[in-house]
Amino acid sequence: MRFSILGPLAVSSADGADLPVGGARLRRLLVLLLLTPGRTVGSERLVRGIWGDGAVPENAGNALQALVSRLRRALGGDAPVHGDPGGYRLQVEPASVDLHRFEDLARRGRGARGDGDPERAEELLGQALALWRGPALAELGASGAAGDTVLRLDASHRTVLLERLRLQLDLGRHDDALPEAEALAAHAPHDERPAELLVCALAAAGRQAEALTAYDRLRRGLAEDLGIDPSPHMQRLQLRLLRGELHGGSPGPGPAPAAPHEPAAAAAASPEPVAPDAPPTSEPRAVKRLPHVLTSFVAREDEVARVGALLDDERLVTLIGPGGAGKTRLSIEAGSRFVEDAAAPAERGVWFVELAPLRDGADIPHALLSGLGLSELPGMSLSSGAPPSTGDVLDRVVDHLGGRDALLILDNCEHLVGDAAQTAERLLARCPRLRVLATSREPLGIAGERLLAVPSLALPPETAGADRAGAYAAVRLFAERARAVDPGFTVGEHNAAHVVRICRELDGLPLALELAAARVRAMSVTHLAARLSDRFRLLTNGNRFALPQHQTLQAVVDWSWELLDSDERTLLHRLSVFAGGAALDAVEHVWSPGSDGGRDVWPVLFALVDKSLVSADVGDDGGEPRYRMLETVRAYGAQRLAESGEEAVVRRAHADYTLALWSRVDPHLRGPDQLGWLERLRLEHDNLTAALRWTIDSGDLACALDLLHTSCWYWQMGNSWSDLVRWCGELLRAAGDRPPAGRTVAYAACLAVHSAGADITDQEISAKGLLRAEELLAESGDRPEDHPGLLQPILLLGMFGYDRRARIARLDRTAADHPDPWVRAAARLFGGLLALHTGSGAEGSDRVFGALDSFRAIGDRWGTAHALTMAAGLGRFTDAGREMDLLEEGDALADEIGLSATRAQFAARRGIALAASGRVDAARSAVKQAHALTADSETRLICRVGDAEVACAAGDPAAAYDIAMSLGADVAAMNDIVRRQVEPGWLALLSRTAMALGDRRAALAHAAAAWAMVAPQPTGLACAEVCEQLAEVLHGEWPERAAVLLGCAESVRGLANEAGPAVARIRARARDALGADGFDRAYGFGAEYGPAGADDRVGAWLRAWGAPPTGGAWGAG
């Protein structure tokens, strides 16, 4: 079956026959469902889209259901419409809808353009445009529920039209492009994009006069209607047209802009003209001999201000940083401001001297003459014709500068650093009002020098969206330079993740970002980001007028490499194995990885720091420095390491160091000093993954297993469970069914983690793996209890129902007699959790609070925080005030450890507890805090539960019910094991909110569905919650049954609910209705049932209850 919504709605069967869909509302319903085929559309959205905001029928749900029934009959079985919680879903493939085929063809067309196949790109975009038969979503119009979608599709259609026209011009098919370009330009007279294409198409057709007329029409329209001029890009286009430079093809970017970061701009244009040895005029004037730059200055205002402040107080300032960091462009901007911002600009002057082309320090004085605009002829010897001496040249420079307040910029000093330093020192000594601003990759190293490191541009977080990313300097520069080659380029949600990745992978280096942005003309940012692993081949398209060392990314680093001695080169390529930086002892470990020790690494390392190839990060606490390289430098070093023939030896040294570090630190993660050690290991995380990657790829599975085993607790503490599971799975696939010799414990730990993670979607498979891990340990004479990371199989297998009582007893023995106090505390906590699941609430509570006291005594914050999550959950049954205290304590601890997801859970649960006690404003604030901390789907779920509870407490049960219903898709998407734990609570929430709405029948239906889920194992907290919710539904009309259910709840939980506000209300009303003796008798009757009796009685009653009973005692029913 095929559907067309890019124009009037049309439906055809598989054999091509048209299928009529009659009625405006029925057609609107179908169009709304077709926007997201195979996905649920909310009922509220459907109602608004069909009837609008003002004409919704009184019983909209029934009316919508009737329309859905009509649609099912019209479409038949080939396109089934399913009802889901909260909405409806049309189960068809996206490819059957023309809208989604259009978007796919457009995406493929852009990909073909990025891959350098314009003919295929033009063909695909043409196919996409051919799908349009009129205005999109004609049944819905440009307003209402789908208004934004209509506008987006219109904009997308227009963009594809423009892209296709550009391709036609590139292919020389200007006759094909001309009619469409004329129509688009006439339709949008103020839009430069179609006007630009029209001008180029007319020029390509030899119609120069008409092309000029088209440009003038745009110019007049902008001026008369909007009061603005055409953009600089369009003005350059007009200039090229007047020069006769437009003969065919799309407009392109125009002449290549000069690079703003290094001396490329200087080479591309001449400085301001000053006559050689010009005599002083009667009126002094400011002198600015700076390179002309052709691009805007982006995102360095703070650095310019810092340079200016330093030049106010110091006479020699050196901008240091790696190649491509933007030192030259920053010096030019600072030099310009030095004159412009002065109180008396006419008394100041700034001169720029480029040293990069020089190969001999003796040439520096002559470069000074050139930079100052002085001729060498007046100083030439008439007798010999020999050039003047260095002393003579410097004399002339000093005479020229005189007493002027002057700034001399010496650019690119690193390869002649000694001679440049000597020259600067001599000039400063002889010119008391002179300041020198140098740029270099290492310091000049003379007295009075002030260094200013030029940092990379600010980088957005990996997860930043378009709006947030656009505020960061690196993204702003990349986007602006990309627009220079593709005027339509923007950073939006469709490409923000790729742009962020590009900026981060390229370290925020301006030169690298500009080289990458220039590639946007030939490939999409998606392809560009994916190919940055080969950055040195990719980024080779620099400004042709730039110095050779600035034309490609490879040349930038080559220039620095050539300035190193052999020891510095060796250390640089060895340091490339550290993906996350290195402490000094780690650097020492790889410096002499074999038996060739004896050389002192310190002076070599410090030389690399001085030359801006390695940075020393001391941190805010002034602790041990950490040595890092920019990713581009590290990638270059990795190339050199591969060429050196010693890669395997160095990577082995790196893996050995990483394993030794984790083995030494792991025990400290379970004690009072864990925070400091956890932070230390977080710094080493990337090194750990690099070592894992190499050991697995090289076949050293024993070392890989050791790395995972010793780091297992670190991954779990850092909320990196999914990453740990992924690594374990990869290692198990490589190792096979049996552990390598001597690695049984590590293999069993790997198997247990993987079984508890990746296989948890299937309880039987998960249990099989966990049991196998226990068997392996038993075969080797080991116990899970002796390995902290292996306590989990005991817990999970008990949760699955495998010998629960035996496992509780086993954990109790461990809690009593294990020599490690941390293991004793953890065993007590896990035993408490299992006891709670078996309905032994009082015993479980004792164990949990005992574990909490033990973790506090040990000083283990992580263990204390997780014990608090369970203790607070128990506190809501016994002492609401204590529950709040425990939640606040847990929040503070999770914040201290850096566990944002755990903090979110504490905050959400605090909001739920506050809502239950009627403190709505405080509850709303707590839930809002939880949302701000949320990262994973499980945490989002409890935050939304908090939203529902707050809405209900605030007197808006309709909103609460809608929120609860909206959670259905999230619950359904969970794996079976997690869903079984979560779904009863969700159904109980639906029942509570339905009850608040006054819909008792719906409330009972939801509660009955919850009971059906817990009935197979009618024990524990979830089962008790369902009993209490059934009591809430029934207590108004059947107080005796409500009292019995409250007794059942205590029986299956093994713990009375003495603090819950809702249960207290039910108890009070039932007691009022029955009298104290009657309530106690009914309550005791329920408490005597036990789990099996509760299932028999409650289950039988619910199964038999086709309609609410009208009377009779519980025992009789």
**Top-confidence range, 67-76, 415-424, 711-720:** 415-424
| Burial of 979 from C-beta contacts in 10 A (0-12 / 13-18 / 19+) | middle
As a whole-number percent, the residues of the chain with pLDDT over 70 amount to 87
Euclidean distance between CA atoms 885 and 865, whole angstroms: 13
Q: What is the pLDDT of residues 123-161, one digit of tens each?
A: 999 999 999 988 888 877 644 555 657 767 887 888 899
| pLDDT tier, 1030 (very low <50, low <70, confident <90, very high otherwise) | very high
At residue 551, the pLDDT reads 53
- Burial label for 1104, CB within 10 Å (0-12, 13-18, 19+), is exposed
Q: Which pLDDT tens digit goes with each residue over 559-582? A: 778 888 888 999 999 999 998 889
pLDDT at 514 > cutoff 70: yes
Residue 310 has pLDDT above 60, yes or no: yes
Q: What pLDDT was estimated at residue 148?
A: 58
Q: Using the CB atoms, write b or e for 810-849: b if 16+ within 10 Å.
A: bbbebbeebebebbbbbbbbbbbbbbbbbbbbebbbebbb
Per the listing, tokens 């994916």 go with 530
* CA 94 remoteness from chain centre: 28
pTM: 0.64
Across 242-251, 571-580, 802-811, the highest mean pLDDT is recorded for 571-580
Split at pLDDT 50, 70, 90, the class of 860 is very high
Angle at 922 between CA 919 and CA 923, to 5 degrees: 75
Phi, psi dihedral angles at 319 (to 5 degrees): -85, 115
**Topology, domain 1-171:** Arc Repressor Mutant, subunit A (1.10.10)
Residues 42 and 47: their CA atoms lie apart, in Å, by 9
Query: Residue 236, SS3?
Result: helix
What mean pLDDT is predicted for residues 410-416? 89
Is residue 202's pLDDT more than 50? yes
Name the CA radius of gyration of the chain, rounded.
37
DSSP 35-90: TSTTS-EEHHHHHHHHHTTT---TTHHHHHHHHHHHHHHHHGGGS-EEEETTEEEE
Whole-number Cα distances in Å, 348 to 287, 332, 342, 402, 561: 7, 15, 8, 11, 38
Residue 695 contacts residue 884 (beta carbons within 8 Å): no
Of the listed ranges 119-123, 782-786, 805-809, the one predicted with least confidence: 782-786
- The domain 564-645 having CATH identifier 1.10.10.10: the answer here is yes
Domain 286-448 class, CATH top level: alpha beta
Please compute the mean of the pLDDT values over residues 751-776 and round it to a whole number.
Answer: 82
**Would you give the distance in Å from CA 941 to the centre of its chain?**
20
End-to-end Cα distance, the chain? 54
Hey, which bits of 429-573 come out as E strands? 434-440, 449-453
